[in-house]
């Protein structure tokens, strides 16, 4: 097991109506708030009104940034930075799903930074002294509610990239599973695929001796397999929503990547290009690509780990690693299909002509992936296999 540091200090407030506790949590860090949210869903479900009432009751001044889109745009980030500076704000409260939270993080990083916030995803600037932030989560998917990462899109260059810093971990996150009752089947399925994809990215490495990390990763995968279909079948299944929500946070708060910090992450890098080209739902893109990636990278070196997943998560009974791995990959594809996720790029609206540009952007900084290093030709082959 390799050395690691681990610290996941975000305070989790989990349960029905836990949003009522945000007043003191905010006041521990600030008094002038940027309230960040997306479209009408937080208003429709009454969450917006509830939060506004709570802030007013606590005499917390706030300014609003609304209209943050899925695959949050750098333009929203720039708007948020400007608002924080204009109004001298000292705390950011994000209410929504991963996109809203990611936008809030990029704003938090951008406020004290002299240059343009797109410098963070491009690796041209480091996050220093960001504003503190808190979140009220409405979608179980990205895990951003308990980590310091964000993914931002830039339409000008049709690109989508990650950024991150420990200092961007939310001070608190409210996880109320009942806030996800109104998430539709498509987003519920995509969220489940996203959680599982995060585990895959950290599980599939060539590290040895990480038994406990792997066993916990397998536990989270089994949670998704148990409850993804249940949440699809009955939207207000609290137990299913609760297990998925806690799974989303634990899947990407650093726990399963202790001692294996790099992970693989090639599939995320490839998926980001799908979203950038076609605004594809992130989890749907991952559901298309992951089984194709697993099949492509299967070789003598990677077979044992793929077989381990097949046996421990999907109950595959096969002595031969390659045979077990193939059965496990089939199980992943069948599971994603059963959730109603697409299984080809064509279904996702990507055309063969899009591929060269996607390959170029995915490999902008060289080969990608830790479990199996993908050159541009490999990325192209995976996109073609996924068409």
- Which residues of this protein are in contact with a copy of itself, per CB under 8 A? 1-16, 18, 177, 208-209, 211-212, 215-216, 218-220, 222-223, 226-227, 238-239, 242-243, 246-247, 250, 258-259
Q: How far is the CB of 308 from a copy of itself (least distance, A)?
A: 13
Q: How far is the CB of 12 from a copy of itself (least distance, A)?
A: 4
Return the number of the residue (208 or 366) whose C-beta is nearest a copy of itself. 208
Return the number of the residue (186 or 238) whose C-beta is nearest a copy of itself. 238
Q: How far is the CB of 351 from a copy of itself (least distance, A)?
A: 40
Return the number of the residue (60 or 244) whose C-beta is nearest a copy of itself. 244
Asked if 25 and 11 touch (Cβ cutoff 8 Å), the reply is yes
What does DSSP say about strands 159-164 and 172-175: parallel, antiparallel, or unpaired? unpaired
Q: What single string gives the DSSP state of each residue in 31-60?
A: SEEEEE--SSHHHHTTHHHHHHHHHHHTT-
The DSSP H or E segment spanning 225 is helix 211-233
Beta bridge partners of 153: 73, 160
**Residue written as tokens 């808190």?**
134
* Nearest-angstrom CA–CA distance, 280 and 87: 35
* Nearest-angstrom CA–CA distance, 371 and 368: 10
Q: How far is the CB of 380 from a copy of itself (least distance, A)?
A: 38
Return the number of the residue (194 or 271) whose C-beta is nearest a copy of itself. 194
Q: How far is the CB of 314 from a copy of itself (least distance, A)?
A: 15
**Residue written as tokens 């220093």?**
128
Asked if 132 and 117 touch (Cβ cutoff 8 Å), the reply is no
* Nearest-angstrom CA–CA distance, 294 and 314: 15
Asked if 266 and 197 touch (Cβ cutoff 8 Å), the reply is no
Return the number of the residue (248 or 281) whose C-beta is nearest a copy of itself. 248
Q: How far is the CB of 375 from a copy of itself (least distance, A)?
A: 32
Q: How far is the CB of 72 from a copy of itself (least distance, A)?
A: 27
Return the number of the residue (174 or 189) whose C-beta is nearest a copy of itself. 174
User: End-to-end alpha-carbon separation of the chain, Å?
Assistant: 38
Return the number of the residue (101 or 106) whose C-beta is nearest a copy of itself. 101
């Amino acid at each position: 097991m390799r050395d690691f540091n681990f610290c996941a200090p975000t305070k989790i407030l989990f349960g029905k109506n836990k949003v009522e506790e945000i007043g003191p949590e905010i006041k521990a860090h600030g008094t002038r708030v940027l309230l960040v949210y997306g479209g009408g869903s937080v208003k429709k479900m009454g969450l917006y009104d509830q939060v506004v009432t709570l802030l007013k009751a606590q005499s917390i001044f706030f300014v609003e940034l609304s209209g943050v889109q899925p695959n949050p745009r750098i333009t929203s980030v720039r708007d948020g930075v400007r608002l924080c500076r204009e109004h001298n704000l000292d705390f950011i409260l994000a209410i929504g799903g991963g996109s809203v939270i990611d936008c809030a993080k990029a704003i938090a990083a951008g406020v004290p930074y002299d240059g343009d916030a797109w410098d963070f995803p491009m690796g041209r600037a480091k996050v220093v002294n960001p504003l503190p932030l808190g979140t009220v989560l409405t979608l179980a998917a990205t895990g951003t509610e308990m980590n310091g990462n964000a993914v931002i899109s830039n339409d000008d260059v049709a690109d989508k990239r990650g950024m991150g810093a420990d200092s961007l971990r939310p001070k608190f996150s409210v996880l109320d599973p009942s806030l996800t009752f109104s998430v539709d089947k498509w987003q519920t399925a995509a969220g489940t695929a996203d959680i599982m994809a995060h585990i895959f990215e950290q599980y599939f490495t060539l590290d040895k001796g990480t038994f406990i990390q792997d066993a916990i990763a397998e536990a989270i995968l089994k949670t998704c397999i148990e409850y993804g279909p249940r949440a699809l079948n009955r939207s207000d299944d609290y137990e299913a929503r609760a297990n998925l929500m806690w799974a989303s946070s634990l899947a990407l708060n650093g726990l399963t990547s202790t001692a294996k910090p790099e992970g693989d992450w090639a599939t995320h890098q490839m998926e980001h290009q799908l979203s950038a080209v076609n605004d594809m739902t992130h989890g749907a893109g991952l559901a298309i690509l992951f089984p194709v990636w697993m099949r492509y990278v299967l070789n003598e070196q990677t077979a044992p780990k793929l077989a381990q997943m097949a046996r421990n998560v999907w109950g595959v009974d096969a002595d031969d690693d390659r045979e077990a791995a193939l059965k496990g990959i089939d199980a992943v594809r069948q599971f994603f299909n059963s959730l109603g996720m697409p299984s080809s790029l064509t279904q996702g609206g990507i055309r063969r002509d899009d591929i060269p540009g996607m390959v170029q952007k995915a490999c902008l900084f060289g080969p990608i992936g830790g479990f199996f290093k993908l050159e541009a030709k490999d990325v192209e082959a995976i996109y073609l296999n996924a068409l």
